[in-house]
Amino acid sequence: MSLLDLGAPGPSLGDVYHFAAQLRSKPGGPVTGELMGSKTLIKIASDANPNLERRATLMFFTFAQPNDQIIAFGVANYSPNVPEFEAGQPAIRAILGGTGKYMGARGQVESTRQADGTYKQVFTLLK
């Protein structure tokens, strides 16, 4: 994760985390693609809810062929000042579409951070 801290130092609207990771079909398996994306802070923690902020995440999944892509977007809850969400708590994001063999894709992707820091991505495609 790489933080682009916009505005005053510390959490402020528009702060962006950029990320990239290899995709594997199973833990330790061969690389099957790449995930790239960004998380933008859209609601900062408040006095009423000091342990919660909301981030909009845009994710680009590319697979074996560079033109085989799935794009996902959604909002999830995060603890302030922590780049990743809590382990074991899935975040569900809408699949906006795809290209190549995923052209016309829709559905959702469920992202779950594992205790070891890896992520499990489960796609539900309605194509």
Closest CA to 104 of 61, 70, 79: 70
Q: How confident is the model at residue 111 (pLDDT cuts 50, 70, 90)?
A: very high
User: What pTM was estimated for this model as a whole?
Assistant: 0.90
pLDDT, position 66: 87
User: How many domains, the chain?
Assistant: 1
pLDDT, position 105: 94
* pLDDT tens, position by position, 81-106: 788 888 889 999 999 999 999 999 99
* pLDDT tens, position by position, 11-64: 899 999 999 999 999 888 999 999 999 999 999 998 888 889 999 999 999 998
Q: What is the CATH number of the domain that holds 57?
A: 2.40.480.10
Phi, psi angles (nearest 5°) of residue 62: -115, 145
Q: Could you tell me the CA-to-CA distances from 39 to 5, 25, 29, 48, 81 in Å, in that order?
A: 12, 24, 27, 23, 13
How far, in Å, CA of 29 to CA of 32, rounded?
9
pLDDT, position 97: 97
Domain encompassing residue 13: 2-125
Is the confidence at residue 127, as pLDDT, over 80? no
